[in-house]
Every structure is written in structure tokens, then in C-alpha cells.
């Protein structure tokens, strides 16, 4: 099925809904052809290839809202599913904030989301890539004796959306990725790590050799790690760990959480919270990025939204419903079932990660964290961590079994250095950055 067929299917669902008595309706169709190969040692451990088709429909009737997702896209199955959805709306409480958006995307920007070479790749070539990545990973260091798998995956997708207000649009996109997770042993100590790369285009991916090298280095570099003493020192978060911090921040700036008081940022719009280095953006129009699309899950045009400007909280991210609930402008951040990120990131600086280390007389570099909690509600950050102790601007020795903790307001205010190593390999990303002082809990 191509874009035209997907749009026709979405329009049919909308027509069925209005014929059943819905005041308004919206339908989105997603078709994705996916491939995944996993190699372990010299064999293919997993091989998956599938085409998934689904339709999501929302209906509004008498101030009530109901939704349904189905994979039965036959005419009879679709007609029956839509009829059930319209009927179920009668059993839902009225909500005056419900309904379709007031405005929809009217442009068709060239975002370069599709790479024909991803779709054209031979399956045998993809399998060999996974096997080669596994070989390169194991060859990095003799202490690497096993792995949790080396992977190649890709997807070619069509997204189509139509509604009863006259909006109808579709786009095609691709995604590819490679990753590996080696296991190393030294004496009776076992270390594991992983590294990966992803993008819309094959040319966006880091080389298989670089992925193997990064994963191998991350695995073996912490052998001999010590438990640090408890202290208050500057903390540098490497970019992958920093992205996890941004994920918690995303939840805190989501209008869905703010509207119900489940965010430490509720009621603080317009306040200066972070440092001058704290510039956080959500952008759905970045050329060729994984978080980009011409419209969001409701057909609203995506855009660039400055969330923090030099530390000042400038905006929450909202879909139509929660924008109405908060009385703010929507930001084109619907994922079709709530509020989601487009490309949410901390703007990079000009320094390198090595520059941040070199300008830190005494501190900690965090390379990995474990554990999780719902920090977006309380503003508390606490993670088990692994990394390096920094002395005189150099990595002195590896450290493990410690906790790094702080409060998000103080962390954002304490950002005093941001690296330029941002890579857009997901919807929520970040460059490495340094917080001037945090608590390290060790021995």
C-alpha cells in the first residue's frame, strides 16, 4: 500500500464515523515494513522481517470522545470497528475541551525523511552487517568473550492522517540503526556495555567499526573501578547519560503532567530556572532527523519551540487537548495519544567533552547510570552510576558503585559547560554537559 492507498483508508474510516453519527472524526493509518538481524558469535541468533498495518480512529460525539486502534483493515472489519467506537462514546463523560484542532498543517516542507537505499538493501547484506559488527566487537579486546548481540535494524513507514475538518496528508519515512553489546571478563569480574547509532539515512549512521570500538572501550575501560568517597564535586554527564536527564525534563514540561500538577515545573512558566547555558528546544522541522515530521499526530504543523531560553522557562509542550486545558498555544506535539517529543534537545556548545574534562580540577565523569524513578513530579534526581574520577583535568581512574544525586532546579541552574557532541539518534537527545556541583554518595 502506498501513501495514496493509506490516505484513502483513513478517509474511509472518517466517512464511516460521520455516517454512524459522530460530530467529528479523525483517522490515522500507519504501515511499517521492518527488518531486524541479531548476530551472536558467528551465527544469526534472531531474524525478523514483517509488515505491520494499523489504524487509529478518534471520534467526537455530543461532547464525548472515544478512540480505537485496529489491525483489521478490511472494509467489513473497519466499518464494524468504527461503529463500535462511535457507540462507545455514548458511555463517556462529556468534556468541553475535546475535539479536533482549530488549525492544521497547510505546508509540505521538504524534510528529507526517506532514504530509498534503506528500502533497497538486500536482506543478505543486512545480515552480513550484523555478523561483521559482532566480529569487530569481539576483536576489540581479548577480554571480550561474549556478547548480548550485535544488531542491524531498519524500517520503511507510511503515515497518513485524515479528519472530518478536511485535512488529509501523508508522508513516507525510513529509519536504520546498528548496535552492539559486548561482555568482557577479567579475573572474576564481568563487565557489560553497549553502543549504537540510528538515523533516517544510511549515511547518517556512524560506521560499524566506530560502533564496535565505542562499545568495546565502554566495556573494558571500567575494569579496576573503585568506589569513590562521598563528596560534593562538579559532575560531567556524557551525552548518552545526559539524554536520560533530558527525558525526565521532557516529562516535566509536558502539558499533560503540568495540567494535573504532576510536574515540578507547574506554575513556573516565565521563571528563570536554569543557567545561561540551559537552552532547551523541541523541533519537528529539523532536516532529516528522526524526530521530524510535517505534522503531528493530530495533523497540526510541527514547529520549533524554545522550551528554555538562557534558563528561563518559556513554554510547555502541548497537544490540542492539554493546550486548551492550560489555556496556552498548542506546540504541535501530539503523538496521537497524548503529548510527545519531536526532537527534544539541549542546544550544544562549542567545547569538546575533553575540554570539559580538562577544565575540571576535581570531579566525576558519569558514563552510565542504573535505576529510575518519576523525577518529573518531585524534581529529585538520584541514580546509581559508573564512570571516572577526574583529577587535575584528567581521567584519573574508573569508579563504580556510587550514587549521583541532586534536585533538577539546582542541576539546571548549575550547568556551567556544554559540549558540542550532540547527535540526533533519537527523539530525545543531548550533548555532554557539566553541572558545577552535585552530591556523589560512595564509601
**211-249: pLDDT as tens digits:** 999 999 999 999 999 999 999 999 999 999 999 999 999
Taking the CA atoms of the chain, what radius of gyration do you get in angstroms?
24
The share of the chain scoring above pLDDT 70, in percent, equals 99
Are the C-beta atoms of residues 87 and 113 closer than 8 Å to each other?
no
User: Across all residues in the chain, what is the average pLDDT?
Assistant: 96
User: Is the pLDDT confidence value at 442 over 90?
Assistant: no
User: Is the pLDDT confidence value at 282 over 70?
Assistant: yes
Strands lying side by side in the sheet with 344-346: 312-313, 304-309, 280-283, 344-346, 428-429
pLDDT in tens, 185-210: 999 899 999 999 999 999 999 999 99
pLDDT at 290: 97
Task: Cell 564496535: give the residue.
Answer: 212
pLDDT in tens, 407-436: 999 999 999 999 999 999 999 999 999 999
User: What is the average pLDDT across 131-156?
Assistant: 97
pLDDT in tens, 56-109: 999 999 999 999 999 999 999 999 999 999 999 999 999 999 999 999 999 989
User: What is the average pLDDT across 160-173?
Assistant: 97
pTM: 0.95
The share of the chain scoring above pLDDT 90, in percent, equals 96
User: Is the pLDDT confidence value at 373 over 70?
Assistant: no
Are the C-beta atoms of residues 278 and 308 closer than 8 Å to each other?
yes
Alpha-carbon 362 to chain mean position? 32
CATH number, domain 3-220: 3.30.2290.10
Using CA atoms, how far apart are residues 80 and 84, in angstroms rounded to an integer?
6
Task: Cell 556548545: give the residue.
Answer: 349
Buried-exposed string 280-293: b where 16+ CB fall within 10 A, e elsewhere: bbbbbbbebbbbbb
Using CA atoms, how far apart are residues 362 and 316, in angstroms rounded to an integer?
36
Buried-exposed string 295-304: b where 16+ CB fall within 10 A, e elsewhere: bbbbbbbbbe
pLDDT in tens, 357-368: 999 999 999 999
pLDDT interval class at 49 (50, 70, 90):
very high
DSSP states along 169-237: EEEEEEEEEEEEEEEEEETTEEEE--EEEEESSGGGSPPHHHHHHHHHHHHHTTTT-BPPPPEEEEEEE
User: Is the pLDDT confidence value at 374 over 90?
Assistant: no
What is the grid cell recorded at 244?
A: 536520560
pLDDT at 371: 80
User: Is the pLDDT confidence value at 397 over 80?
Assistant: yes
Closest CA to 439 of 382, 390, 392, 389: 382
pLDDT in tens, 21-42: 999 999 999 999 999 999 999 9
Delimit the domains of the chain by residue range.
3-220, 224-443
DSSP-derived secondary structure letter, 99: S
Using CA atoms, how far apart are residues 133 and 252, in angstroms rounded to an integer?
38
Amino acid at each position: 500500500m502506498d501513501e495514496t492507498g493509506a490516505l484513502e483508508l483513513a478517509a474511509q474510516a472518517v466517512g464511516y464515523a460521520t455516517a454512524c453519527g459522530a460530530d467529528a472524526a479523525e483517522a490515522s493509518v500507519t504501515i511499517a515494513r521492518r527488518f531486524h538481524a541479531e548476530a551472536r558469535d558467528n551465527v544469526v541468533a534472531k531474524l525478523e522481517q514483517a509488515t505491520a498495518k494499523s489504524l487509529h480512529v478518534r471520534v467526537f460525539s455530543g461532547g464525548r470522545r472515544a478512540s480505537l486502534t485496529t489491525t483489521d483493515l478490511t472494509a467489513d472489519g473497519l466499518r464494524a470497528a468504527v461503529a463500535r467506537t462511535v457507540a462507545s462514546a455514548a458511555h463517556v463523560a462529556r468534556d468541553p475541551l475535546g475535539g479536533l484542532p482549530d488549525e492544521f498543517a497547510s505546508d509540505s516542507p521538504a524534510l528529507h525523511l526517506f532514504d530509498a537505499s534503506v528500502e533497497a538493501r538486500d536482506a543478505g547484506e543486512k545480515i552480513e552487517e550484523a555478523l561483521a559488527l559482532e566480529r569487530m566487537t569481539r576483536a576489540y579486546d581479548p577480554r571480550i568473550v561474549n556478547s548480548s548481540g550485535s544488531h542491524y535494524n531498519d524500517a520503511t513507514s507510511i503515515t497518513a492522517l485524515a479528519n472530518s475538518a478536511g485535512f488529509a496528508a501523508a508522508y513516507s519515512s525510513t529509519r536504520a540503526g546498528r548496535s552492539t553489546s559486548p561482555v568482557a571478563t577479567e579475573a572474576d569480574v564481568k563487565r557489560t556495555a553497549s553502543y549504537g547509532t540510528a538515523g533516517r539515512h544510511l549515511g547518517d549512521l556512524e560506521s560499524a567499526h566506530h560502533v564496535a570500538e565505542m562499545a568495546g572501550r565502554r566495556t573494558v575501560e571500567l575494569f579496576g573501578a573503585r568506589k569513590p568517597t562521598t563528596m560534593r564535586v562538579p559532575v560531567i554527564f556524557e551525552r548518552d547519560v545526559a539524554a536520560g536527564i533530558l527525558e525526565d525534563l521532557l516529562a516535566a514540561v509536558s502539558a499533560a503532567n503540568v495540567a494535573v500538577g504532576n510536574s515540578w515545573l507547574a506554575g513556573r512558566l516565565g521563571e528563570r530556572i536554569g543557567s545561561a547555558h540551559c537552552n532547551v528546544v523541541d523541533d519537528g522541522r529539523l532536516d532529516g532527523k528522526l524526530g521530524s515530521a510535517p505534522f503531528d499526530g493530530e495533523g497540526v504543523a510541527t514547529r520549533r519551540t524554545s522550551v528554555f531560553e538562557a534558563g528561563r522557562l518559556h513554554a510547555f509542550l502541548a497537544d490540542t487537548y492539554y493546550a486548551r486545558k492550560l489555556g496556552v498555544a498548542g506546540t504541535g506535539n501530539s503523538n496521537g495519544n497524548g503529548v510527545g517529543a519531536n526532537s527534544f534537545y539541549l542546544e550544544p556548545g562549542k567545547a569538546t567533552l575533553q575540554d570539559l574534562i580538562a577544565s575540571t580540577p576535581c570531579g566525576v565523569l558519569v558514563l552510565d547510570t542504573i535505576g529510575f524513578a518519576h523525577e518529573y513530579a518531585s524534581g529529585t534526581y538520584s541514580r546509581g552510576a559508573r564512570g571516572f574520577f577526574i583529577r587535575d583535568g584528567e581521567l584519573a581512574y574508573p569508579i563504580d558503585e556510587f550514587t549521583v544525586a541532586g534536585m533538577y532546579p539546582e542541576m539546571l541552574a548549575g550547568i556551567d559547560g556544554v559540549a558540542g557532541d550532540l547527535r540526533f539518534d533519537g527523539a530525545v537527545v543531548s550533548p555532554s554537559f557539566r553541572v558545577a556541583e552535585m552530591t556523589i554518595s560512595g564509601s
